[in-house]
Structure 1
């Protein structure tokens, strides 16, 4: 078996046609077509539906393409690992990250990383939307969730875990009283993001150290995905917020917020690094990921989120 034939087939399938594959790779359309035809003859099945109007793979072609993706990815990774030994990582790393994580944690890590790797540039998209990693050509996307559903073509690496805590301002507690059980939260105004909506209702799932479990149906006054806005609204007494501990901890220390029901918490929020499995990770991206693995858990344990930005 000539593995070059599989590579030529991969280029054609990945770019959805011989002409597009020629533009992407510089290999002539005629050579690609001839080698794919030779591959079909060797395996004894048709891999590509010949149609002038659209490009499509047969079932056998789809199966071979999935295997070819892994083959090319492993080959690229092997090449990159050797290249990493002979050169200093360089180039651009395209990173997507939730706004709060970028502003108040990743911002503390980036300067030291870039001093260590002077030939690496970072393009950081601080956004709370769900980015399309492959379509938007993102090298590493950071995501925070209780769990991460697998997506086609992507792999993930858990980096760190944080806990969510309930917080409210002293004025809010003075007006509404200090709750002593999660059930009382249903009668109080709350803050949340739309992700917390389940089966048409807004719910918080809380756990105690003794293993008790409580589902709180609450009624938000504010819906906002951005944790900064939720934090400021909690400080201003708009409602009780359920926020990541690293986001709220400093405000609790300074007395701007009170930790409500401290014995109750949520399942850990896991911060994942998500990246494409269709191509090997380049040395610059690998260096960035390794740096996050080493340093992000430590910086998340230090309360660094100060609310003096507005003052």
Structure 2
């Protein structure tokens, strides 16, 4: 049976760059560490460390073995902290980012309720539409909205909900232009577009029996602010693609109407991403857990909960997976 202490001591020796430094950190005699690593090498039948009086070098086999031992220690600490999480109240600080419109329309009130429920948690929230570097900027949890497919990376992702979109316009504009019967008719309509910079603007639609259509247009207004797009659409400036959760009330009030109801834009995925624990000790690192209740097509029913690993590190369940982009 392998003595797991030997594996932990081996990691410490590599991390500290030698037996003497590791011995001081562990309060263990240098000779004891050297003897235990030698016994470990004998059991494995390989040389893990090349050592002389003047040189300390990790062999290629030793480096591979070190990486696996390090991962084992990380998972062991995560398991211990997961148990602590289950029996204690969340507390600590979380650095969070969220798209501006999603924050105003949905996430903001949810965060407020969360903070009332968990007074020991402090949030540092950045409302931004830019693509955040989760690892480089030290962000614990980033809420994102992306169309499928979501590209892979080393981040951990939790899907929160799908978000449906519709093409909408003011009743006055529809009356003036005439309700279009086919997607190509929209090419003559004034359009509004979400984005920045110079690029082609188009609506990608899926219709009956999976039919697809792309309509290119020259927008009268281009902005990164969905609220500005909604107000322009209500004023009759043009037709715009917006999330259902943003126009639900305006549709009910008759300020906007759906254009080409049988043809719908691509759905998007609301998801949370955070740094992988692999290679990072949970202590001092941020991680987030998000939970779902029943989620309707427009995103209502999305529930939020997060536990900072700086205080208590939640262990990911089976519904976590490595994905999403930095």
TM over 0.5: yes
1:149 aligned partner? 151
The residue that corresponds to 1:99 in the other structure is 100
1:201, distance to aligned residue in structure 2 (A) = 2.8
How far 1:177 sits from its partner (Å)? 2.7
The CA RMSD over aligned residues, in Å, is 3.9
Corresponding residue for 2:84? 83
Q: 2:296 and 2:110 mapped to 1: Cα distance?
A: 11
The residue that corresponds to 2:139 in the other structure is 138
Give the drift of 1:127.
0.8
- On the 8 A contact 2:161/2:295 being kept in 1, the answer is yes
Q: What is the aligned partner in structure 2 of residue 167 from structure 1?
A: 168
Q: Which residue of 1 aligns with 2:309?
A: none
CA deviations over 1:264-285 (Å, ceiling 9, x no partner): 1123211111011134778997
Once the two structures are superposed, the pairs formed by residues 220-259 of structure 1 within 5 Å of their partners are 220-259=219-258
Native 8 Å contact 1:99 1:127 kept in 2: yes
Higher helix share: 1
* Match of residue 117 from structure 1: 118
**Residue 215, structure 1, aligned to residue 240, structure 2:** no
2:8 corresponds to:
4
Tell me the SS of whatever aligns to 2:126. strand
Quote the residue 2:300 is aligned against. Answer: 301
After TM superposition, give the deviation of residue 225 of structure 1 in Å: 2.4
Unaligned runs of 5+ in 1: 13-17, 48-56, 303-311
Q: Tell me the distance in 1 between the aligned counterparts of 2:170 and 2:134.
A: 38
Q: Which residue of 2 aligns with 1:50?
A: none
1:10 deviates by 8.2
TM-score, normalised to structure 1's length? Answer: 0.72
Normalised to the residue count of structure 2, the TM-score between the two structures is 0.69
Contact 2:98 2:128 survives alignment (8 Å):
yes
Counterpart-to-counterpart distance in 2, 1:64 and 1:224: 52
73 and 156 in structure 1: CA distance in 2 versus 1, 3 angstrom threshold: farther
**Pairwise CA distance, 1:262:** 1.1
Q: Secondary structure at the match of 2:101?
A: helix
Indicate how the Cα distance of structure 1 residues 81 and 264 shifts in structure 2: closer, same or farther if over 3 A, else same: same
User: Once the two structures are superposed, what CA deviation does each residue of 1:101-158 show, in whole Å capped at 9, x if it has no partner?
Assistant: 1112112212321222121112211110111111111111111111221223x11111
The residue number in structure 2 matching 1:272 is 271
Larger Rg: 2
Shift of 1:238: 2.0
